[in-house]
Amino acid sequence: MEMISNACLQRFKAINDVKDILSGKWKIMIIASLSVFGEKRYTELQRIIDGIGTKMLSKELQELEINGLIKRTVMDTKPVTVKYELTAYGSTLKPIIDEMASWGSQHRVKVIQEIAEK
């Protein structure tokens, strides 16, 4: 059995950390939405992210806030308005999100071509 180097193990741990922070069906879409559209109110996010329920959006936003990726701002309005935006730290994920979008587009084209060839 081949020994795995410490550097490799550390790399896998780092990948696992990212997976744990961004896990779930919606977190990446929330980050992508805030990255593309900037600061958004809760209801705007709910409209942008098709299919997400109110409880799930609240839960995911809370977890992203705990991890320092988004900032929640309660506005002094009636009724109360809550806005969300990426923090500077959350914005460091933008190149990763952009790369995922690029890969996803290429993959979709590849799959469609393969189906058409059958």
Correct CATH for 8-117 of 3.40.50.1470, 1.10.10.10, 3.40.50.150, 1.10.10.410: 1.10.10.10
pLDDT digits (tens, 9 = 90+) for 16-41: 999 999 998 999 999 999 999 999 99
pLDDT digits (tens, 9 = 90+) for 61-115: 999 999 999 999 999 999 989 999 999 999 999 999 999 999 999 999 999 999 9
DSSP letters along the chain, please? -PPPPHHHHHHHHHHHHHHHHH-SSSHHHHHHHHHHH-SEEHHHHHHHSTT--HHHHHHHHHHHHHTTSEEEEEES-SS-EEEEEE-HHHHTTHHHHHHHHHHHHHHHHHHHHHHHH-
Report pLDDT for 2: 77
Residue 1 scores a pLDDT above 80: no
Can you give the residue ranges of every domain in the chain?
Answer: 8-117
Pairwise pLDDT comparison (2 vs 81), residue with the higher score: 81
